[in-house]
Structure 1
Amino acid sequence: MARTTASAISELLSSHETGILAEWLALLSQADTSGRIGRGELEAQTRDFLRALREAAASDDAFNSMESAPFVRLRDVLGAISRSRAQQGFSPSETAIFVFSLKQPLFARLREMHGKDGDAVGRDTWAVTELLDQLGLHTVEAYQKSREEVIARQQEEISELSTPVVKLWNGVLALPLIGTLDSARTQVVMENLLQSIVDNGAEIAIIDITGVPTVDTLVAQHLLKTVAAARLMGADCIVSGIRPQIAQTMVHLGVELNVVSKASLADAFALALARIGRAVVPARSVAGPRPNGTA
């Protein structure tokens, strides 16, 4: 962008900031029909953006590149705005509107400033269009990156919540698995189980796969890794919940778990109790004296 154009935009933003801000805020308020952003927060965001844009336009290196030093603060402001909208549930188009809606008040002020000088109006309008389009693309990219970070964090939290280690008895733990096992989740499962073995001094860990939809060679490898890690910590493992369909699939695939398995969690628990010298027996009713002392 030519220096004259940059100077014109800087002068425009300095001279008409109040009017531009008021018109821009009105357009943004109309676009945000859900009211997810308060008036005060929106005003602060628009003021910060206009100030950063004015400072960038006033630089000698203005608009040579979006990666140039004058645009560092402007990119930071847009990045913060994009992250906040990603966390608030805005769509990419709703986020980009923050930048693109600024075109209307800027174009109106450019026409007022240049009057009948069509060449100047066309030159500066095109320059502002290119600038805001680049900033809009930057906004969407920052939004997308923030959404990916939010999704990744949520997946990690869900993975941790979906792999609880339950203490069934002194020395006996149970790890009920639900859903598909992949490498990332296997690591979480292993860490949770090993830490629980240390915390409880467990001798036996029951890994229940009733909620695992399919067991193929890859899932079997993940289970074996978990079993091997638990053995290194001094705890034996029992796998429970192998349904008939899964058993048939494993036989056809030639998958061998090389670990004691039981059809149900109850059977695995009974075996675990037997290994530690415990047993569950029916409680016997003991007849006691009646309240009045009679037999």
Structure 2
Amino acid sequence: MRVSERAAAGSAARELGAFLERRREQIAQRWADTPLFRTVFTVSRDEAVEACKAVVDALADVAATGRAEDVAAPGFDSVREQLGRMAASRARSGHSPAQIADEAAALRTAVTELLRGDVQGPSGGETPSGDGKRDVLLALTVLMGTLRLVIMETTINAGEELIARQRQQLLEVATPVISLWDGIVAVPLIGTLDSARSQVVMESLLQAIVEQRARFAILDITGVPTVDSLVAQHLMKTVAAARLMGAECVVSGIRPAIAQTIVHLGIDLGSVVTRSSLADALAYALTRQGIEVSHRAAGVSPR
């Protein structure tokens, strides 16, 4: 870029920053009625206006530094703080990133209208500094385009955080620890096991062993269709960890296909107590505790 072009760009950036400061109130009032801001601040419009003013101030700071095209400009940090919850709210309500991007693009219209009003004379013609005003309009376009990128970045990050939280919640819900008897807990596993879920199983089971002072822990994998070497290793680690906590771990419900896979992988389960079903595992744990369960004869009432 030549010296004259750099000087023109710097002058346009300063003029844009001054315009944003001068028209701060009008811009905020218009933005407060847009879907992007109105969604979150539904109770108080004044709150929405104040949030809009904070964003306008941040944009003025970015424009003054001449870094309108830089999403990493320090001035955008406060913009991310203001727009983060709005973008997250729009994403939670079912709006796609493309829709949020369109809402962000709509913010430019209100600012452009005000800027054109500033650069036009009483008859609608351009003022003598028409070239400079066009530079300011171009700088505004670049700045608002960068703002749109910042909003999209914030939206995507908020969506990824939401998905991560939901995934963790689903893992915890899908791995319940059940108290079957005094001193006996069980984790009935259903569905595919991966490393992340296996880790949740271990943490949940060990926590239950501590809280309930369990002597026996049953891992029932009747509902698990397949087990690979990594998952089998996680199960072995869970069994070992339970032993260190003072509980004996029993694995039940191993399907024929899974048994063949374990043998094929060469995984040694010789030190692990296994039973064909959850009922058998419970009976084993009860017997080890000296509890005998027997069928009551027909017609005999309980005492």
For normalisation by structure 2, the TM-score amounts to: 0.80
In structure 2, the residue matched to 1:208 is: 220
Structure 2 residue aligned with 1:50:
56
> Aligned partners of 1:43 and 1:209: how far apart in 2?
56
- Residue 283 of structure 1 is matched in structure 2 by 296
Q: Which residue of 2 aligns with 1:107?
A: 112
Separation in 1, partners of 2:246, 2:186: 15
Contact persistence 2:40–2:89 (CA under 8 A)? no
Is the 8 Å Cα contact of residues 182 and 222 (structure 1) preserved in structure 2? no
Counting only pairs closer than 5 Å after superposition, residues 48-197 of structure 1 correspond to structure 2 as: 48-57=54-63, 59=64, 61-63=65-67, 65-115=70-120, 116=126, 118-197=130-209
Query: Residue 291 of structure 1 corresponds to which residue in structure 2?
Result: none
Contact preservation (8 Å) 1:162, 1:177: yes
Deviation, 1:212, is 1.3
Instruction: Give yes or no for the alignment of 1:274 onto 2:287.
Output: yes
Counterpart residue number, 1:292: none
Q: Where do 1:244-283 residues align within 5 Å?
A: 244-258=256-270, 259-283=272-296
Q: Give 1:111 shift.
A: 2.7
> CA–CA distance in 1 between the matches of 2:301 and 2:231?
53
Residues 69 and 25 from structure 1, CA distance in 2 versus in 1: closer, same or farther, beyond 3 angstroms? closer
1:10 paired to 2:17: yes
Q: Could you tell me which amino acid in structure 2 is paired with residue 191 of structure 1? A: E
2:168 corresponds to which letter in structure 1?
E
Indicate conservation of the 8 Å contact 1:216/1:255, yes or no. no
Range 147-156 or range 248-257, more displaced: 248-257
Q: CA deviation at 1:272?
A: 1.5
Q: Identity of aligned pairs, percent?
A: 44
Any unmatched runs of 5+ in structure 1? 289-295
Moved more, 172-181 or 247-256: 247-256
Deviations 1:213-247 (A, max 9, x none): 20222221111110111112222121111123323
Tell me, in whole angstroms, the C-alpha distance in 2 between the residues paired with 1:36 and 1:213.
Answer: 44
Cα RMSD (Å) of the superposition? 3.0
Instruction: State the distance in 1 between where 2:144 and 2:211 align.
Output: 56
Helix, strand or coil: the match of 2:262? helix
TM-score by length of 1: 0.82
C-alpha distance in 1, partners of 2:73/2:184?
Answer: 61
Cα distance in structure 2, aligned partners of 1:71 and 1:162? 40
Residues 86 and 201 (structure 1), Cα distance of their counterparts in 2 relative to 1, 3 Å cut: same
Q: Distance in 2 between matches of 1:20 and 1:200?
A: 60
CA distance in 1: counterparts of 2:171 and 2:213, whole angstroms:
24
The gaps in structure 2 that reach 5 residues or longer are: 1-5, 121-125
- Count, aligned residues: 283
- Native 8 Å contact 1:210 1:240 kept in 2: yes
Letter in 1 for 2:20: L
Contact kept in structure 1, 2:58 and 2:79, CA below 8 Å: yes
Aligned AA (1:226): T
Residue pair 1:56, 1:71 contacting (<8 A) in 2 also: yes
Query: d(CA) in 2 for partners of 1:119 and 1:132?
Result: 20
Q: Distance in 1 between matches of 2:32 and 2:41?
A: 12
Residue equivalent to 2:3: none
Q: Partner amino acid for 1:216? A: D
Rounded Cα–Cα distance in structure 1 between residues aligned with 2:210 and 2:113: 69
Verify the 8 A CA contact 1:167 1:173 in the aligned structure 2.
yes
* 1:266 CA drift (Å): 0.9
